[in-house]
Amino acid sequence: MDRKKLVLIGNGMAGVRALEELFALVPDAYDVTVFGAEPHPNYNRILLSPVLAGEQDFDDIVLNDLAWYAEHNIRLHLNCKVEQIDRENRVVRGQDGTEAPYDVAILATGSQPVILPVPGKELSGVLAYRDIADTQAMMDAAATGGDAVVIGGGLLGLEAANGLMKRGMKVTVVHLGRWLLERQLDETAGRLLEDSLAARGMDFCLEAQTESIVDDGAGRVAGVKLADGRFLPAKLVVMAVGIRPDTALAEAAGLACNRGVVVDDTLRTSDPSIYALGECANHRGVAYGLVAPLYEMAKVLAQHLAGPSEAAYQGSLLSTKLKVTGIELFSAGDFMGGEGCEDIVLSDPAAGLYKRLVIKDDKLVGACLYGDSADGGWYFKLMREGRELAETRDRLMFGEAFHLGDAGHQGMSRVAAMADGDEVCGCNGVCKGTIVKAIAEQGLMSVDAVKKHTKAASSCGSCTGLVEQILLNTLGSDFQESPKTRAVCGCTEHTHGEVRAAIRDRHLTTIPDVMRAMNWRTPNGCASCRPALNYYLVSTWPREAVDDPQSRFVNERVHANIQKDGTFSVIPQMKGGVTNADELRRIADVADKYQIPMVKVTGGQRIDLLGVKKDDLVNVWKDLGMKSGYAYGKSIRTVKTCVGSEFCRFGTQNSTQMGIDLETMLGRMWSPHKVKLAVSGCPRNCAESGIKDVGIIGVDSGWELYVGGNGGIKTEVAQFFVKVKTADEVREYAGAFLQLYREEGFYLERTVHYLARVGLEHAKAKVIDDAENRKALYERLLFSLDGLPDPWEERVEGAQQHEFKTLEVL
């Protein structure tokens, strides 16, 4: 009951995103109150443009409906502007007198549109472009056609102008600069943009200053008068000349402000119990006006709210796109060049194509693309990573396609360039056109929905990035999946973190208990959540929770891997890749006796019998007399080894024995996803320790441990974890790390993804720095493995026989 009180001021994109991130980390840590000046639940402001252009409805852009607030027990005060932060008494006061005491407050008040100080600015029919009310007013005005003037030729102004034009108004854009979007484009690209908008019917007055807005005599706008004397008739004037961080409240409360509420790298203001993020904040002198930075801020802020954290917001590099359907434009970084910079320019005005890349110190620092922005994401990535260009420089202008060889699946920006018939999902043969069509026709908004409807990204998942990009392109926004959509599955709103916490904190031990306690929507879950719940139960309450075979995927239920024709593969354990003549003879006999169509050496240093009939499984295991290799499970797989010091002239340690010992210790270990280890006897690394979940490398003075490697869909190099001296320490450190992963990992999250989520530092703190905790983790691992039976032996002895017995032949 003595939860800390958190008050969020501003129910917009940044503030609510911070709450989502916070709930994903610690669902119940705070008692939350939210104040929002607008009468709406949280919505996606950037999609106001597609709404204005008639491509989406207001309903489509709601991010969190009222039910979401209720589910998280948030006290929500809509239509209630906060008028005072009483820092002395730590109370926030709303305009209607509502009070909310706080321990921690978050300011996320966004921006105010800048209104030019010209005569007539208060006339009826003069609008800004910021929220639903503005958008609705524009739509109402456009319903009867007529003339409109948009003041400001920036992103917002052009999107407003485009929307009004599409709704049938005659639109003139008045812009002070020499060309459009002069903060995003250089002159050449700006002119190309102007030409193509003009071709669609938009008019422009460039280098034009607004002198006044003219009254029609009844307090309504009649038109705009420019400084050069021109008069533009209009019944609607939209001012889109910039935004100003909304700091009124913060200033009144005496917080340090300077073009934004000043925050440090932890997003704290000058009052340590008040944080600020989003457009109202000023971080290292910058106040941002786009969503990408505020999502990054939200992540950092949530980590600080969740507990002591070293997370620091370092500022963001920005890229922009114009959300006008049919116009391709991308710009990022320092695209104007200047001192010490070199330009690479490709200009083909006749074809409507222009690209400019700015290079400094052999790194890409800016890009401005018009006409074909397919490689925008790739250039942006090069900029963010600060990659040295070296010999790739010659080909840089030709885009990512020329670099694919070295990029593998990293390339995510190809989608815009893909034809409808190009294959996106290699596993299920789904083409781009099919996905785009499904998104448009069925209103799909998330990767999960696309998976369900098209099957794309539903198998190996390596095309998930492409699917996200297609969603982004098709939805025409900075689409990003939020933690909210990372619920376990459609059967529940809860995230994996929430479910794990509930199982632990409320001591739940069966799947029906979890579903009841957490209000599952379906009677017995689905094929996604049931296996996850089963794993969480058996890993949290070893020897107590009862393993539910019906909630395991067939492979784990029958201890063999199902094949495309319904037969199974059998891979016996062969610790460390070491076998002997006797085992090989039995394998050979089994292969003959059961007419096994293929015997293959696997990538995991052991032997696979492929194409075994289900009815034969138990007999095959019996005749083999070997233990299960768990090649089918979200579990330990293999520990690969090299020959090591026993035979190899470079070997420094007995890596083979180390591998065998580890496999003996970890045998039968269930885990969030599969776990692979390797032990090499020297840094030549013949066992490929660098791409394993735990990789061990023997050196003269001991052993080095690496964690979080992955050789699969996207190759990831393992990160150095710790160096130890003895074999006992190897087992203890590796075991403790794996136990931490078993306790904290989300189902189907491999170590690399787990570490990306919690941070390597977190794992180091728990396993390396805290000796007591390490020992406790290690003991919990041994406790949960102790006494687990070998599944093949159990079956040979008759357990669950029905599973393998076919019924009466009719």
Partner 1 sequence: MEANNNWKAVCALADIPKLGSRVVRRAAGDDIALFRTETDAVFALTDRCPHKGGPLSQGLVVGEAVVCPLHGWAIQFSDGHACAPDEGCTGKHPVKVVDGVVWLSPV
Ligand X SMILES: Cc1cc2nc3c(=O)[nH]c(=O)nc-3n(C[C@H](O)[C@H](O)[C@H](O)COP(=O)(O)OP(=O)(O)OC[C@H]3O[C@@H](n4cnc5c(N)ncnc54)[C@H](O)[C@@H]3O)c2cc1C
Contacts 24+ apart (CB under 8 A), 586-595: 586/623, 586/624, 586/625, 586/626, 587/624, 589/623, 590/620, 590/623, 590/624, 593/623, 594/619, 594/620
Strands 261-263 and 170-174: unpaired
Count, residues near partner 1 per rule CB under 8 A: 31
**Residue 278, contacted partner among ligand SRM, ligand X, partner 1, none, CB below 5-8 A by kind:** ligand X
Residue 76 β-bridge partners: 34
**Helix 617-624 with 581-593: angle, nearest 10 deg:** 150
**Residue 223, contacted partner among partner 1, ligand X, ligand SRM, none, CB below 5-8 A by kind:** none
Nearest Cα neighbor of 781 from 732, 726, 709, 722 is 732
Q: Within positions 47 to 66, which residues make up the interface with ligand SRM, using CB under 6 A?
A: none
> Which whole-number Å values give the CA distances from 455 to 79, 119, 424, in the listed order?
42, 58, 11
Instruction: List the structure tokens of 111.
Output: 């921006």
**Residue 15, contacted partner among partner 1, ligand SRM, ligand X, none, CB below 5-8 A by kind:** ligand X
Q: Within positions 275 to 314, which residues make up the interface with ligand X, using CB under 6 A?
A: 278-280, 289-292, 294
Strands 561-562 and 598-601: unpaired
Phi, psi values for residue 261, rounded to 5°: -75, 120
In whole angstroms, how large is the CA radius of gyration of the chain? 31
> Which whole-number Å values give the CA distances from 352 to 67, 153, 324, 524, in the listed order?
47, 20, 16, 56
Residue 602 sits in the site that holds ligand SRM (CB under 6 A): yes
Nearer to partner 1, 649 or 802 (CB): 802
Q: Which residue, judged by CB position, is nearest to ligand X in the bound state?
A: 12
Residue from 5, 45, 750, 774 binding ligand SRM (CB under 6 A): 750
| Cα–Cα dist 597/595, whole Å | 6
**Part of the chain binding ligand SRM (CB under 6 A), chosen from 133-141, 353-361, 448-456, 601-609:** 601-609
Residue 441 sits in the site that holds partner 1 (CB under 8 A): no
Q: What is the dihedral of CA 750, 753, 757, 759, to 10 degrees?
A: 90
Alpha helices in 207-348 (DSSP H): 248-252, 291-306
**Helix 155-166 with 187-199: angle, nearest 10 deg:** 10
Spatial contact of 239 and 151, defined as CB atoms under 8 Å apart: yes
Residue from 6, 10, 276, 379 binding ligand X (CB under 6 A): 10
Q: How far is the CB of 61 from ligand X (least distance, A)?
A: 11
Q: How far is the CB of 87 from ligand X (least distance, A)?
A: 15
Phi, psi values for residue 354, rounded to 5°: -150, 130
Q: At a CB cut-off of 8 Å and minimum separation 6, what does 750 contact? A: 672, 673, 674, 693, 710, 712
Instruction: List the structure tokens of 519.
Output: 């209000």
Residue from 6, 7, 13, 19 binding ligand X (CB under 6 A): 13
Q: What is the DSSP-derived secondary structure letter of residue 767?
A: I
Residue 751 sits in the site that holds ligand SRM (CB under 6 A): no
**Residue 453, contacted partner among ligand SRM, partner 1, ligand X, none, CB below 5-8 A by kind:** partner 1
Phi, psi values for residue 560, rounded to 5°: -160, 160
Spatial contact of 224 and 151, defined as CB atoms under 8 Å apart: yes
**Residue 109, contacted partner among ligand X, partner 1, ligand SRM, none, CB below 5-8 A by kind:** ligand X
Residue 336 sits in the site that holds ligand X (CB under 6 A): no
Query: 199 burial class (0-12, 13-18, 19+ CB within 10 angstroms)?
Result: exposed
Residue from 48, 359, 436, 511 binding ligand X (CB under 6 A): 48
Nearest Cα neighbor of 303 from 720, 622, 25, 660 is 25
Residue 73 sits in the site that holds ligand SRM (CB under 6 A): no
Q: Within positions 522 to 551, which residues make up the interface with partner 1, using CB under 8 A?
A: 522-527, 530-531, 549-551
**Part of the chain binding ligand X (CB under 6 A), chosen from 36-44, 255-263, 498-506, 695-703:** 36-44
Q: How far is the CB of 610 from partner 1 (least distance, A)?
A: 16
Instruction: List the structure tokens of 563.
Output: 């094949």
Residue from 5, 6, 7, 14 binding ligand X (CB under 6 A): 14
**Residue 29, contacted partner among partner 1, ligand X, ligand SRM, none, CB below 5-8 A by kind:** none
**Part of the chain binding ligand X (CB under 6 A), chosen from 108-116, 146-154, 658-666, 675-683:** 108-116
Residue 663 sits in the site that holds ligand SRM (CB under 6 A): no
| Cα–Cα dist 558/87, whole Å | 63
Per-residue x/- mask for ligand SRM, residues 425 to 464, rule CB under 6 A?
-----------------------------------x----
| Cα–Cα dist 68/646, whole Å | 61
**Residue 551, contacted partner among ligand SRM, partner 1, ligand X, none, CB below 5-8 A by kind:** partner 1
Query: Residues 359, 371, 406, CA angle at the centre, nearest 5°?
Result: 50
Nearer to ligand SRM, 717 or 765 (CB): 717
Tallying the residues shown for the chain, one arrives at 810
Nearest Cα neighbor of 60 from 74, 73, 49, 72 is 49
Residue 137 sits in the site that holds ligand X (CB under 6 A): no
Nearer to partner 1, 87 or 455 (CB): 455
- Burial code (b: 16+ CB inside 10 Å, e: under 16) for 205-214 equals bbebebbebb
**Part of the chain binding ligand SRM (CB under 6 A), chosen from 347-355, 536-544, 563-571, 792-800:** 563-571
Q: How far is the CB of 605 from partner 1 (least distance, A)?
A: 27
Q: How far is the CB of 133 from ligand SRM (least distance, A)?
A: 48
Nearer to ligand X, 163 or 690 (CB): 163
Nearer to ligand SRM, 65 or 615 (CB): 615
Per-residue x/- mask for ligand SRM, residues 564 to 583, rule CB under 6 A?
-----x-x------------
DSSP H or E segment with residue 699: strand 694-699
Task: Write down the residue that tokens 């006494």 correspond to.
Answer: 787
Residue from 631, 662, 694, 707 binding ligand SRM (CB under 6 A): 631
**Part of the chain binding ligand X (CB under 6 A), chosen from 13-21, 431-439, 541-549, 708-716:** 13-21
| Cα–Cα dist 727/662, whole Å | 10
Residue 731 sits in the site that holds ligand SRM (CB under 6 A): no
Residue 497 sits in the site that holds ligand X (CB under 6 A): no
Query: Residues 795, 798, 802, CA angle at the centre, nearest 5°?
Result: 90
**Residue 317, contacted partner among partner 1, ligand SRM, ligand X, none, CB below 5-8 A by kind:** none
Instruction: List the structure tokens of 362.
Output: 């052999």
| Cα–Cα dist 302/294, whole Å | 12
**Residue 600, contacted partner among ligand X, ligand SRM, partner 1, none, CB below 5-8 A by kind:** ligand SRM
Nearer to ligand SRM, 263 or 571 (CB): 571
Q: What is the DSSP-derived secondary structure letter of residue 546?
A: P
**Residue 608, contacted partner among ligand X, partner 1, ligand SRM, none, CB below 5-8 A by kind:** ligand SRM
Residue 606 sits in the site that holds ligand X (CB under 6 A): no
Residue 780 sits in the site that holds ligand X (CB under 6 A): no
Phi, psi values for residue 648, rounded to 5°: -80, 140
Per-residue x/- mask for ligand X, residues 370 to 409, rule CB under 6 A?
----------------------------------------
| Cα–Cα dist 680/616, whole Å | 37
Name the residues that contact ligand X, by CB under 6 A: 9-15, 35-38, 45-46, 48-49, 81-82, 108-110, 129-130, 156, 246, 249, 278-280, 289-292, 294, 323, 478
Name the residues that contact ligand SRM, by CB under 6 A: 460, 561, 563, 569, 571, 600, 602-604, 606, 608, 631, 637-638, 674, 676, 710-713, 750
Name the residues that contact partner 1, by CB under 8 A: 428, 442, 452-455, 458-459, 522-527, 530-531, 549-551, 553-554, 558, 562, 564, 566, 802, 806-810
